[in-house]
Amino acid sequence: MWLRSCFRPGYTSDMSARRRTVMALTVFLSLASAAAAAPDCDGGAILALRAKATRLRLVGTISRPGVHHDTLVGATNPFQVELADANDTAAVLYAATIPADRFVTRGNRTVYDRLGAFPGRVVLRDSKRQSDTVTVSIRVSDSIMGTDAARDVRASFMAGSRCARTCVSRCALDGAGLRCEASVGYQPFADEAFGGYLRTPAAATSPLCGLSIDTNPECDFLIEERCVLPYPSSFFLRSDPSTPTGRRVNFGAQSLPRNVSGVYVDPTDWNTLDGFSPGPMILALFPD
């Protein structure tokens, strides 16, 4: 997937254009550190989700090295939950904050004591299916937004001093609200050495659930931390029958790196090219 563009049509046929592409590569290398990195979180999954205008039921998981139900929430930091549209993180369906001192441990679970302002229940349990994983069960009677249209959603948690995000759950209209599918299971990369399944894993798993999704349409979505990586990428080509290759480079106004003053590299000159040169090395970023 990282090399998807390198064997497709669209390489520049002009030698001077090749030299300019090499210059562009130098710019990417020198300015890459100026691009803001998207925050990563612990990963998780949505196991069950129903949402109506006045009611929400969410069962999800958080995987973190060595975590247990009684250590997930810190001594002072509150527990926060947010359910948002996976394709538009500004579209928040529901968000709530519960003070840390409102959680009490009773046997094999930690629960919200229901003495605060939060209008519902929260139960934290160690997963019997997956190691280093806490199952979070939330039932709330409150105002839930966006339940009148099908959408993809993700749940996010601030637990203790760290964040967690689930994989995407697809939701369809069902009567007066949304009925959502379970997301793919979260399974960390094997070399992370945590979060292994104790029982048969989900049919589909992903190690990338905790990553932030960059919704900037001018950025290649494959590497969230750097808009223009991997390079070169067919994401930044558009059809143009007037060029010899039938393609034209198409960087957006905010696709290329920016300097410390927040000024983006002007893509005008590069957008005259009919493709990427086969000369430059392939660039990618593996944050972990």
Per-residue pLDDT of 9-23, as tens digits, reads 344 444 444 444 444
Predicted TM-score (pTM) of the model is: 0.69
Model confidence at 64: pLDDT above 80:
yes
Model confidence at 4: pLDDT above 50:
no
| Phi, psi angles (nearest 5°) of residue 190 | -55, -35
Burial class for 77, CB neighbours closer than 10 Å (0-12, 13-18, 19+): middle
At 101-145, the pLDDT tens digits run 999 999 999 999 999 999 999 999 999 999 999 999 999 999 999
| pLDDT given for residue 140 in this prediction | 97
173-195: average pLDDT: 93
| pLDDT given for residue 287 in this prediction | 65
Average pLDDT over the chain, rounded to whole? 85
| pLDDT given for residue 23 in this prediction | 43
Does 280 sit behind a cis peptide bond, omega within 30 degrees of 0 on the bond before it? no
| pLDDT given for residue 288 in this prediction | 61
44-54: average pLDDT: 97
Model confidence at 254: pLDDT above 50:
yes
Residue 24 banded pLDDT, cuts 50, 70, 90: very low
Residue 33 banded pLDDT, cuts 50, 70, 90: very low
| pLDDT given for residue 191 in this prediction | 87
| pLDDT given for residue 8 in this prediction | 39
- Residues 133, 138, 143: CA angle, nearest 5 degrees: 145
| pLDDT given for residue 286 in this prediction | 80
| CA 252, chain centre distance (Å) | 22
180-184: average pLDDT: 96
- Answer whether 227's CB lies under 8 Å from 215's CB: no
Q: Which DSSP category does 181 fall into?
A: P
Q: Which DSSP category does 99 fall into?
A: -
| pLDDT given for residue 29 in this prediction | 40
Proportion of the chain above pLDDT 90, given as a percent? 61
Model confidence at 277: pLDDT above 70:
yes
Model confidence at 261: pLDDT above 50:
yes
| pLDDT given for residue 223 in this prediction | 76
